[in-house]
Each structure stands twice: as structure tokens, then as C-alpha cells.
Amino acid sequence: MDMDEKKTNGKIDNGSEKKTNEEIDKNPRWKVYKLHFIALIILIISIFIGVREIKITDSISFLLLPITYSIVIGMAIYLSKHFKWVGDEEAKIAEGIMAILLGVIIAKLAISSGESIYMIFNVGPALILQLFGDICTIIALPIALVLGFRREAVGMTSSICRDPNVAIIIDKYGLNSPESRGVLFIYILGPIIGVLYMGFLASLCVSLLPLHPYAYAMASGVGSASMNAAGLVPLVNLYPAMATQLEAFAGCSNVLSSAFGIYLFIFISLPLTEKLYSWLSPVLGKGHAIEFDDIVQDEGSENNPFGLKMDRLPKILAVFLVFSVIVAIGNAFGGTAPFVDSLIGMLIIAAITLIGLFIGEIIPYKIPSIIIICLIGMFFAIPGVPTADFVTHYASQVDLTTICAAFLAYVGIALGKDWDKFKKIGWRGILITLVVITGTYIGSALIAHVILLLSGSI
């Protein structure tokens, strides 16, 4: 979302938005394809650096991964004053591109889910019940009060603060309310630091907490495709023999969080946060309250100059094709699989994504594309379905880490334009964001592990 749009009486200046679209459409190929070229270079550099283990003690360590380098390099390129190829227009284009490339990650995980469908049914209760770990974001509430947040803390700590949560908070409290300001703080910070932190947290927790990898995979499904992937990649690197199963559990968990987590938020998390706030605020909220400017006041508006909608199908097809080539090159460079096999696998994954997006546009019901893509990907990969062997064989040739690293190159460039807002929110907002993510991740992992043990699945 672009928070720097021009406004007229509080509304989007449609003339300005139209002009921006027209300017980019005058010569879109160079602006877009130089961005793709930069993403490819970032991916190659990230794969070349590889996985690095950082030891804290002899028994505690965490991994630095290509996904980490990719998003950092992308942001650094945007912020560098000496790199003229990437500016505001390219960052906005990257934001539009990454919006549909999320579907590629979902499709890849969905294929793994279909391949492991019988195992998923066996551990079904754990997948459902671990969603209650989302409530554990509330552990950040007392910290937020001590740091000087007031009603903002309700918005900040009642959820992971992704799109559905933001919509509900704004609808309930109003756009200019402290609660909405709070949820938008985490909404902005989440993509910037959440992806980096999820990868670190996942690899660190494996060293610290002896929970089953399946539990950690389920816990990574927080309702954000990018954070889902970031939490999963360290597990896949640590347990390569379980890669398909881990991808399956993570993908299903993320879809469930998106589909049913919203009801958990409405009926349990938000009321519970309100009640806890009423108890704790008189005790912990006596100190100096933080004064805010309008950092996130206009976050509710969108301006996607790339125009990635179904009425611009050629652009979408071009993005999928070029992204497939980028990932296939990265896959071959990393030695995962030959270029041709990787490209076929990516084209299959991209086709499933495109079908899901198309169906989401034409059906009369408002079903999120993430669910449609996931169902299609699962169906094509279910053992016994005629397409299963072909789809699963070639999709398995594509490394999830490579897909995520390529995707996060665009994310890093897109997020670079929000760096000033990131700095204004400050360390307090960063700390609350980290605690919120930690709460839901560890809470979900603990619940999943206990249910897996009780059900005899592990």
C-alpha cells in the first residue's frame, strides 16, 4: 500500500493515480524487465552466499538463509542513492508484482499438501487446534502498556495484524482511532521485519525447544504467505528428508489461518484483549503515554501502478513467465535440478496460480484467491488423480527456498519505500512486533506438538 498518495479532501486523487498508470504504461517493458533483471541478480547473489549457521553456543544456533540476504539486498538497492535503476516507480511496480507472486508460493505448498493429503487427515486435530496459538499475541499487551502505548495496544496485540485483522479493527473503531493506528503499526512493520525475524525465530526455536518439526511447520502458518515461507525455509533446510510433509503442514496451516483465523479473532482474541486491557491499563498504563503523528493515517488507500488485474492478463502472464525463468535459473545455479525440469515445474506452479486467480475473478462469491489456489493445487497432486504423478514430480524439482528468495527480492525493493515510516515508528513498535510474532509462533507450535503427542501422530 502506498502511503504517499496525493489526497484531495481526504480522498485519493484519481487524476494523479491515472496519470501515474499512464506514465508507466508508456514504456512498461524496460521499467519492468530491468526490475526482473535486478531480482535475478539478487537471487544469484543470495544463492551463492548460501546457508550459513551462526552459533550462539555449542547447542544453540540459527541460520542465515538466501531469503534473508534477498530481502536485505533488495531494500539496500532501493535505499542506495548510487543505484539509479530502482526508484519509486520501480518499487511500486515491485509491490504490484509481489501481490500476485504470493500465489506461486501458495501453489507450491498446496501441491505438497495434496501429495501428503492422507497424512494431513491423520493429524487434522493438531492443524485445527494450533490456530488457538494465534491468541498468544496477547502476551505483548502488558509490554506495550509499559512502553507507553495506550489504546493503540489493543490493535497491536490482538492479532498478527494482517489484512483481515486490519479491516475488522478499522471497521469497529474507525480509521483515525488509536486502535487502528496500533494495528497499522504492526501491519507496516510485519513485512519489513517479520520475514527476517520468522526465519531467525524458526531456526533458533529448533535449537531451544525440542518440539517436532511438524509442529513448527504448522506454527509458521500465521496467515501471511511471506512469513509462512520464511518460517518454513529453515525447517526444510534442517530436515530435508521431511521437506514435502513440512511444506504440506505449513501450507494447510496458513490457509486455515486465513480462512478461520478471522473468526477466532472476532469472537475470542479481540474481546479477550479488550478485557485484559481494562484490567491491566489502570496498573501498567500510569506512566507517560507516547504521542503520535499521522504516520499511518492514510494507510487504507491503494495505488498499484502496475495494474495487475485480470483485465491486464498479458502483463500477468508475462510476470509469471519471467518469474518462472528467474526461479529456474536460480534453481539450476544452486544445483537443485536442471534448468528445463525446474522451468517445467515452475510453469506448472504458475499455471495453477493463474487458474486460481482467474476463478476468483469470475465466480460470483467472494472467496479469497489463496483458498482457491490451494484447493486446485491440492487436487492436482492428490494420489490417484491422473495429474498427480506429473505435477508432483516436476514441482518437487523446484526448491522452495529458491522461490522464496526470488519473491523476496521484489519484496525488499517494494518495502524500501516505507523505510522512512519504519524509522518513525521506532524501537518500541519493533519490539512489540517481535513479541507478537514470537507469541503466535511458539504458542501454535506448543499446542500442535501436544496434540500430535496425544493423538499418537508422533
The model's pLDDT over 178-215, given as tens digits with 9 standing for 90+, comes to 888 888 788 777 767 887 888 889 989 988 899 999 99
CB 190 within 8 Å of CB 164: no
Vertex 405 angle, CA 357 and 234, to 5°: 110
pLDDT of residue 451: 92
The full set of domain ranges for the chain reads 7-454
Among 188, 148, 142, 124, which Cα is nearest to 433's?
188
CB 433 within 8 Å of CB 101: no
Average pLDDT over residues 131-156: 92
Report the percentage of the chain scoring pLDDT > 70: 83
Cell numbers given for 119: 497424512
End-to-end CA distance of the chain: 42
pLDDT of residue 48: 93
pLDDT of residue 77: 87
Query: Crossing angle of helices 419-454/178-189, nearest 10°?
Result: 80
Average pLDDT over residues 3-21: 36
Cell numbers given for 231: 518460517
pLDDT of residue 66: 85
Q: In angstroms, rounded to a whole number, what is the distance separating the alpha carbons of residues 375 and 103?
A: 12
Average pLDDT over residues 253-273: 84
Measuring CA to CA, how many Å separate 363 from each of 351, 357, 358?
18, 10, 9
Name every residue whose Cβ is closer than 8 Å to that of residue 61 and which is 6 or more positions away in sequence: 53, 54, 55, 203, 204, 207
Q: In angstroms, rounded to a whole number, what is the distance separating the alpha carbons of residues 80 and 204?
A: 31
Cell numbers given for 450: 501436544
pLDDT of residue 63: 74
Amino acid symbol at 152: E
* Four-CA torsion 444, 449, 450, 456, nearest 10 degrees: 140
The reported pTM is: 0.74
